[in-house]
Structure 1
Amino acid sequence: MRFQVLGPVTVHDDLGGPVALRGPRYREVLARLILANRRVVPVGRLVDDLWDEPPVDAVGAVRTFVAGLRRALEPDRPPRTPARLLVTEGLGYALRAEPDAVDAWRFDDAIRVSSTLPAGQAFSLLTEALGWWRGPAYTDFADAGWAQAERSRLTEQRLLAVERRAEAQLALGAAAAAVPDLDAHVAEHPWREDAWGLLATALYRSGRQADALAVLARARRMLAEDLGIDPGPALRRLEHDLLRQAAHLDPVAADPTVQVWEQARAAYDSAVPPRTGTRLESTAGLMRDLAVTGGGGLAAARAHRLSAVVAADELGDAELTARVIGIYDVPAIWTRSDDPAQDRRLVDIAEKTLLRLPAHDEADRARLLATIAVESRGALPVDDPTEAGLRPLRAARRAEEIARRLHDPALLAFALNGVFMQSFQRAGLAQRREALGTEIVAVAATSKLATYEVLGHLILVQTRCACADYTGADQHADAADALAQRYELPLVKVFTTWYRALRTSATTDLATAEAAYEAAAATLTGAGMPGLEQGILPLAQLSLYLRHHDTGKIAAIAADTDWGPYKSWVEPTLLVARGELARAREALHNLTSPPRDLLFEALWAIVAHAAIAVDDVEAMHRARIHLSPAAAETTAQSGLLSVGPVRTHLDDIDTAMSL
């Protein structure tokens, strides 16, 4: 849940949809709990805050409001189970939202962090934070006594943010861009002497010394006429320095790229009206560039991209929505989603837009189809193909067909990325993906599509690993790293570092391999890729222990290890190592097939190990059926980990079944 109090009090779910709150009293209780910042608010205090003259059943009414809020905030919570978000503690209630779930809390953090950042980062952070304001804080409860102090505090924080943002602009050498906002700021808040000083400095650094002095004269008159006071020492010193053109007032030489960025941003803001389709397209394009920076940039890009798509969809213009969706052609290499709920929302809107798009608009149609294929990663049907499960596969093929007919290299690279994401119908398809990676590299290199050239090389790293051709994989990893350095693509290092850990594990002792994987796992911290990060390190370690036949290491794995999405397929092997054979058999009996993705063969090989250990013929038979098409491959095709050649596991199954 996301809570907003910088304006009207509202709540949104994880897909951005509004959460219905039954009435003003319900919203007031929620707002009062948000203001408490995760601390407990006694019921008596809530009663006093909600009513000047509490009714006889006030406590019961508060409990009713809390019960209604719980139903709205945790709609999927099973009956008679404790609330996790709006909790009862002692004689009161607390809203235990995550620290980043409330816009006011995030805003306070942004103000605090901005003071420690370089000017460029501080400017970006404060610009984003100021955009969270939709009106005065706690607008709905402006007259409530409990809200007044917090409203005043947040208002002061907002004014401080405006001024700190202007300071960052001045430090970046973007004085002219700071003038319009500062001029409006002092007009609305004329008692803030720091703001007058910033405006005068910005004007002076823009080559407008006379205007700067005129601003200070205006500030002097306003303070004298309205408050009967003289300007403070800082403004008086500034006026003196402006008159003598003090050297310290000259702007520090800024990075020219910063100046160009600020000038372009100011020109765009003045030329392109807000609430236009052009701005939505620009947002999507900017998010495409932001996504490849990794870390917070990737997470922010996903969130803002979805916001732009939803906004376009709400306008009802199918062609605009198609452009906003399709412009975000960020290459995807990993086959597990970082945010499944968000991806489902994007795919739903893309499919709806396809039905409304004019038939002649083939390029946008192909981009929508490619988006569906890429964002439906991991959605291939497992054992029971269905119409819904096959749609992304057909979308990928149709996007490729259109792109080839239009002879559009960028569109073809995007479509082939979708084909790659849907190329896991069964095990043993590394050669097919080898051809895809080779073509993507060729198309991208010829058309200077750097991010797709990297994608092609990373696909070829995976497929070379599937054939145990580490020399070939080395060449493609080196090529990807060189492109990443040239074009500033930091996320590439995550995948090449993990590949080199795999390479190390294939040629060194267990301790060295463990250290290599620990170092690789460090690259995932803050990378913004939870779909890759969750469970991958313990899975890689388990693969090492299985290849080294080290049952003791497996048995020593901590019980609370986070296996992410892989838990059900590794659980039987863990139980076997701990000697819990009956539970291992039960786990195998209830096991479904793993998703058809880059780890499909590896997970089936791990299942086969447990099935052999407990002599589960049915599970061995299932593993053999799924692994047989990859008999000539290793299970290292993910480019991240390996549990050894598939042929070895098939031979072990055959031996066990023949006994």
Structure 2
Amino acid sequence: MGVEFGLLGPVAAWDADGSALPLGAPRHREVLGRLLIARGRVVPVGRLVADLWEDESPAGAVGAVRTFVAALRRALEPARPPRQPSRLLVTDGPGYVLRAGRGAVDAWRFEDAAARAAGAPPHAAVALWDEALARWRGPVLADFPAAAWAAAEQVRLEALRLDAVERRADALLATGAARDAVADLRAHVAAHPGREDGWVLLATALDRAGRRGEALEALNRARDALAGGGGGPVSGGALARTEARILSGTTGSAAEPAGMADSVWDRAAASWDRTVPARSKARLHATAGLLRDLAVTGPDGLEEARRHRRDLVAAAETTGDTELAARIIGSYDVPAVWTRADDPDDAGELSRAAARAAARFGPDGPAALRARLLSVVAVESRGDAARDAPLSRAGDARATEPWRRRAERAAEEAVRIARRLGDPALLAFALNGAFMQSFADCGSAATRDALGEELTRLAVEHQMPGHEVLGRIVRLQALAGLGELAAADAEAEEIDRLAHRNERPLAGVFTAWYRALRTCETEGWPAARSPYARVLAETADCGMPGLVQGAAVLVALVPVMRGDTPLDPQDFAHLDAGPYRPWLDPLLLVESGAVEQARQALTEVPRPPHDLLQEALWCVLARAAATAGHRPVLRRARDELSAAAGERAGAGSGLISFGPVEHHVQKAEAALGVG
């Protein structure tokens, strides 16, 4: 519904345009604040009465609460017709509940941004910590500083804020911006002299800024402040270690465990460079492992890993060592979830390199290595990345596509080998390939759900967190496609928890998109418009161009394809359709009145890729073909979509939903004169 709420400061609410909503008297705002900190749980009327009147409630208190709620409903949903139930502040059993999504409350958005920052590399982390801290407008629930019902949440969120200030400073130090950190840290310890970590960070920042005398002086002030009882008992060990480091001239991170890890890394890397000969095979092996780990660290790491991987494979192939090249190619078992290749040419070349290596060994070669190579073929042949002939046209009958069948067979054989060998890591990689090749037909959400369930179970049993995240994302998408949103919600929560614990920041891209989709499915397009705008902005630089390119066009199509708004070609004029241009153009042409041009475009348009968005793109073609009267494309679209009649169109992507596939099939049949 486009309403956003504020807890990080005075209680507030804003409409979709960012204008403050008139919440009324303090009691109205107090009721809203109390419902917000309940985080989507029902607050009984009796509990509200007890919280608002802590000593003794007056006669008529229950009626007063109901009056406050009624006033809030009018303020939050001014356009709601009379006697229509509120969809935001809802009566539920004995009380009330506020149906606000995570992206609609500043405190929850602060927590989410902080979680992303905690798992990001230093430069990205600084920006994310800035984003998180920018949510704060003042003390938590500032207009109710003494309310007993608010105390626990005020303490909790304030502790998170102080931690965020310090972790931002630590990230600044890691980027070399010690001078920038000094001023903020001085203000921080002045306001919170009992924070030992704050003093350690200030001393470290001063030392790195070349002000060693001031750093030692800050440590002396810290001892005085801490001895004065500002923050309770402290050991002083961190201060002593920081002082010893400064006096010895040793650099390190202010966050000591991280500093120890960085120190070990630096020493080990230096030892490696000194002792391992240049151009040795050991360096190729080590580089392969480094790229595999780098790919899951975040957007920058993923881009760097992708950029260097092709060069590494080429270098391995030039050694003339067939087994070395095969092992390098097969070592990149990074979980992959998006079925459109970020770089189709690069993916196709890697698939062909893996196929060449597998052919050199033949079916009797090392079984585990063969399974790895076949898994690479299956994963990198996602969509149509490995095609070696033009795609068939959407209006033609299904054609045999050898490159697709090769990839499907590779996935099937890799799974068989991995099962026979009983190697859980190998089986997880092979199941990843099977997922990528599970899109031969529309309507495969149930199959993908089963794959995701097996992969999740395998990963949990053998402690493979990366593949557990993959398995749960596969299930999240499949469950969304099946319309089972409660189960999908549970997967999204678990994905976020795992991603935070295991430093997998890219997983949050998929849960953020899913939550926008869910808002659209449960509350309608008007409520989803704002979450979609946020997720488009937040994931623009996620390092996955195959997912991001053209995403704005998919979002713009949502209200059109769901029937909420007519299509206005001008709404798409400024949007980059990216890889979806061939399937969008016929619809834009026919809606612009250029029917003959639309018919020609439909005659030439290729069939949609076999990936997570194939149902959605067939729906777009069906609408264009029905309007333009292009029966071959319309019949093919109807036939393809009929297999997915029980699913939500496009929702299996986890990005967007065009509503029930059945509705699109019915419209196609009506246009064909069927029934």
Shared fold (TM-score greater than 0.5)?
yes
Shift of 1:289: 0.8
Q: Does the CA-based 8 Å contact 2:446-2:482 persist in structure 1? A: no
2:354 pairs with one of 345, 350, 354? 350
* Counterpart for residue 625 of structure 2: 611
TM-score by length of 2: 0.60
1:490 matched to 2:494: no
Q: Does the CA-based 8 Å contact 2:326-2:369 persist in structure 1? A: yes
1:627 matched to 2:626: no
Alignment of 1:228-307 (within 5 A): 250-254=249-253, 255-307=259-311
Deviation digits for residues 260-289 of structure 1 (CA, Å, limit 9, x no counterpart): 111221222233222111111111111111
Shift of 1:121: 5.0
Shift of 1:122: 6.7
- Aligned mates of 2:637, 2:402 — CA distance in 1: 25
Shift of 1:316: 1.0
* Counterpart for residue 570 of structure 2: 556
- Aligned mates of 1:246, 1:532 — CA distance in 2: 46
- Aligned mates of 1:617, 1:246 — CA distance in 2: 77
1:431 matched to 2:451: no
- Aligned mates of 1:272, 1:118 — CA distance in 2: 33
Shift of 1:421: 0.3
- Aligned mates of 2:494, 2:442 — CA distance in 1: 27
2:314 pairs with one of 301, 310, 313? 310
Q: Does the CA-based 8 Å contact 2:377-2:410 persist in structure 1? A: yes
Alignment of 1:385-404 (within 5 A): 385-404=400-419
Q: Does the CA-based 8 Å contact 1:514-1:541 persist in structure 2? A: no
- Aligned mates of 1:472, 1:298 — CA distance in 2: 29
- Aligned mates of 2:352, 2:175 — CA distance in 1: 35
1:513 matched to 2:544: no
Aligned partner letter, 2:316: A
Shift of 1:598: 0.6
Shift of 1:390: 1.5
1:596 matched to 2:610: yes
| Secondary structure at the counterpart of residue 455 of structure 1 | helix
Q: Does the CA-based 8 Å contact 1:624-1:650 persist in structure 2? A: yes
* Counterpart for residue 567 of structure 1: 581
Q: Does the CA-based 8 Å contact 1:551-1:577 persist in structure 2? A: no
Q: Does the CA-based 8 Å contact 2:330-2:354 persist in structure 1? A: no
Cα gap change, 1:424/1:247 in structure 2, threshold over 3 Å: closer, same or farther? closer
Q: Does the CA-based 8 Å contact 1:321-1:353 persist in structure 2? A: yes
| Secondary structure at the counterpart of residue 571 of structure 2 | coil
1:503 pairs with one of 509, 518, 522? 518
Deviation digits for residues 317-359 of structure 1 (CA, Å, limit 9, x no counterpart): 1111111112210011101111122112212221221122373
- Aligned mates of 1:267, 1:247 — CA distance in 2: 25
- Aligned mates of 1:471, 1:462 — CA distance in 2: 13
Alignment of 1:453-472 (within 5 A): 453-472=468-487
| Secondary structure at the counterpart of residue 609 of structure 2 | coil
Deviation digits for residues 84-131 of structure 1 (CA, Å, limit 9, x no counterpart): xxxxxxxxxxxxxxxxxxxxxxxxxxxxxxxxx9565579xxxxxxxx
Q: Does the CA-based 8 Å contact 1:598-1:637 persist in structure 2? A: yes
- Aligned mates of 1:360, 1:588 — CA distance in 2: 47
Shift of 1:560: 4.1
1:367 matched to 2:372: yes
* Counterpart for residue 378 of structure 1: 383
Percent identity, aligned pairs only, is: 43
Aligned partner letter, 1:289: D
Q: Does the CA-based 8 Å contact 1:505-1:544 persist in structure 2? A: no
Q: Does the CA-based 8 Å contact 1:517-1:541 persist in structure 2? A: no
* Counterpart for residue 586 of structure 1: 600
Cα gap change, 1:555/1:303 in structure 2, threshold over 3 Å: closer, same or farther? closer
Shift of 1:628: 1.1
Deviation digits for residues 346-399 of structure 1 (CA, Å, limit 9, x no counterpart): 122212211223734111111010001101111277632233332111111111
* Counterpart for residue 93 of structure 1: none
- Aligned mates of 1:555, 1:344 — CA distance in 2: 34
Shift of 1:252: 4.3
* Counterpart for residue 655 of structure 2: 640
Shift of 1:476: 0.8
RMSD: 2.5
1:327 pairs with one of 325, 331, 336? 331
Q: Specify every segment of 5 or more residues in structure 1 that has no aligned partner in the other structure, as ranges.
A: 1-116, 124-170, 176-196, 198-244
- Aligned mates of 1:462, 1:299 — CA distance in 2: 24
- Aligned mates of 1:250, 1:392 — CA distance in 2: 57
Shift of 1:508: 2.3
2:548 pairs with one of 526, 530, 533? 533
Q: Does the CA-based 8 Å contact 2:569-2:588 persist in structure 1? A: yes
Cα gap change, 1:577/1:387 in structure 2, threshold over 3 Å: closer, same or farther? closer
Deviation digits for residues 601-629 of structure 1 (CA, Å, limit 9, x no counterpart): 10001111122223332222111111111
Q: Specify every segment of 5 or more residues in structure 2 that has no aligned partner in the other structure, as ranges.
A: 1-170, 178-203, 211-243, 254-258, 393-397
| Secondary structure at the counterpart of residue 652 of structure 2 | coil
Aligned partner letter, 1:429: S
Deviation digits for residues 455-488 of structure 1 (CA, Å, limit 9, x no counterpart): 1101111111111111111111111111100001
1:524 matched to 2:529: no
Q: Does the CA-based 8 Å contact 1:283-1:305 persist in structure 2? A: no
Cα gap change, 1:118/1:272 in structure 2, threshold over 3 Å: closer, same or farther? farther
1:450 pairs with one of 432, 456, 465? 465
Deviation digits for residues 472-522 of structure 1 (CA, Å, limit 9, x no counterpart): 111111111111000011100111100111001112243331211111112
Question: Using CA pairs below 8 Å that are at least 6 residues apart, which structure has the higher relative contact order?
Answer: 2
The range that moved more, 383-392 or 361-370, is: 383-392
Cα gap change, 1:121/1:271 in structure 2, threshold over 3 Å: closer, same or farther? farther
| Secondary structure at the counterpart of residue 551 of structure 1 | coil
